[in-house]
Structure 1
């Protein structure tokens, strides 16, 4: 790990914690070019049926901006804002390595799981705090969990997800915010908040 990489990591954390518009700050600070995992997102197309907004970088930057706006609206503390912005920014970091074209369509099966592996390595290289990395990895790896069910998930599925997130130092609420930002950052194809059924079942369990 070089001193330059530590500086890049510190600058990234500063953006996640304080920037009103992370996408602009990342561009202004040259971090998109300085972090290969972000650069690769801009080189990765998406199926326009689900992502008419553009490539994976466009989508991810938009999601990060939405997370920052949420943190501002609800006056979240710096550490929680940092987590939400980072998880939203890197939630699709596995897509460059999993995106395939098949029969004229673009898919990225397995990108969530691969994304967790990639972000863990990114965190080590940039000397990001271990608790933050653990929490981001857990959200990245599970941000597609809502697609596994139709309607309300079972109490067992919700508890399993809650336990997995809690073990990594995060929560279903944090997960839900990132899932919502992912769904909204799609332009005309924006989706309703897919975390709602999961949070509804979790509330009943309480």
Structure 2
């Protein structure tokens, strides 16, 4: 039986079931691009347009459910980003924030397999990409990064439904842009499958450096390996290391805090702990010894900071993301020695950015 976000697609039922769906009717949109009205009207029109598309009807039942859920959620965070700029209405960053919200909803409210959840979240994140890809500073790199996370035919269908599910004067231009996007994907060999790289080092090097070529094969002069853990508190990172890598040295921010009795909410103390951890890591890196970097690392900006350091010392970075189902997570945290208050857990969950496949030499999902 395939997964679905809901078995009842009646709009009034959706509003009664999901508060975020009810919020859509109160969010205005710019009349030039959305003369149809508010976000609720637009979302309903997008869903109707999607289900009427022949390409959608040819998808497998599970693909249809994934795409329908993404269409329902694609503008979920216009509620928090919409603003008035003179006589215009904009919603900057709604797709990026919508990705995190979609992930949270499908983790806490609707039981969703990890792979399906991340497909929906990625579709929400990139739903505008087919319209604006050629205006990006580096269109090819942006496209290839997205291709590692989302199936491009599904993304193009979502963008087309988004364009058809509105009233505007430039709809033909929007549809033409989506056709160009599909051709661009074909040209860059990422339409049906993600762009293939020779190996993890080639992929990592391409996304880390500017003005690179996806066909470039770098010389492998890496000297050591760092296992970088990523996951919310209470997911079982310590247990994972003890079970699978009992002899591997570990640099842990939490251990440093506990050894020195530092409070997690003390900013100055946290800064000191980070410096201590960085020096420990540098010592292992200078010696060429493998080790584990154990911290939450739940945002890309934090991960990038450390991965750049490790790469400077020519270390191969294996990024391991760890996750358990929502109820198990709450139970594990409650029963651990250093439990985190649930309010703090929910705050961290809202910030979570699951590692993307291109962030390290190797990215593994233990879920």
TM over 0.5: yes
Aligned CA distance change for structure 1 residues 72 and 13 (closer, same or farther; 3 Å)? farther
**1:134 maps to what in 2?**
118
Secondary structure of 1:127's match?
A: coil
Distance, in Å, in 1 between the alignment partners of 2:111 and 2:50 is 19
RCO greater where, 1 or 2, for CA within 8 Å and sep 6 or more? 1
Question: Which of the residues 66, 69, 72 maps onto 2:52?
Answer: 69
Distance, in Å, in 1 between the alignment partners of 2:37 and 2:125 is 22
Structure 1, residues 44-73: CA drift from partner, whole Å, max 9, x if none?
000101100110011011111222222676
Equivalent positions of 1:89-128 (< 5 A) are: 89-128=72-111
Normalised by the size of structure 2, how large is the TM-score? 0.46
Secondary structure of 1:106's match?
A: strand
Secondary structure of 2:110's match?
A: coil
Question: Which of the residues 4, 19, 25 maps onto 1:42?
Answer: 25
Question: Which of the residues 1, 13, 24 maps onto 2:6?
Answer: 13
Of 121-130 and 40-49, more deviation after overlay is shown by 121-130
Question: Which of the residues 107, 121, 127 maps onto 1:143?
Answer: 127
Question: Which of the residues 137, 141, 161 maps onto 1:156?
Answer: 141
Distance, in Å, in 2 between the alignment partners of 1:90 and 1:112 is 10
For the 8 Å contact 2:46–2:161, the answer to whether it is kept is: yes
For the 8 Å contact 1:12–1:26, the answer to whether it is kept is: no
CA RMSD after TM alignment: 2.3
Aligned CA distance change for structure 1 residues 188 and 102 (closer, same or farther; 3 Å)? closer
Secondary structure of 2:29's match?
A: coil
**1:78 maps to what in 2?**
61
Question: Which of the residues 146, 149, 157 maps onto 1:177?
Answer: 157
Q: Which runs of 5+ in 1 are unaligned?
A: 1-9, 16-21, 166-170
Number of aligned positions between the proteins = 181
Q: Going by fraction, where is strand more abundant, 1 or 2?
A: 2
Distance, in Å, in 1 between the alignment partners of 2:4 and 2:125 is 24
Q: Going by fraction, where is helix more abundant, 1 or 2?
A: 1
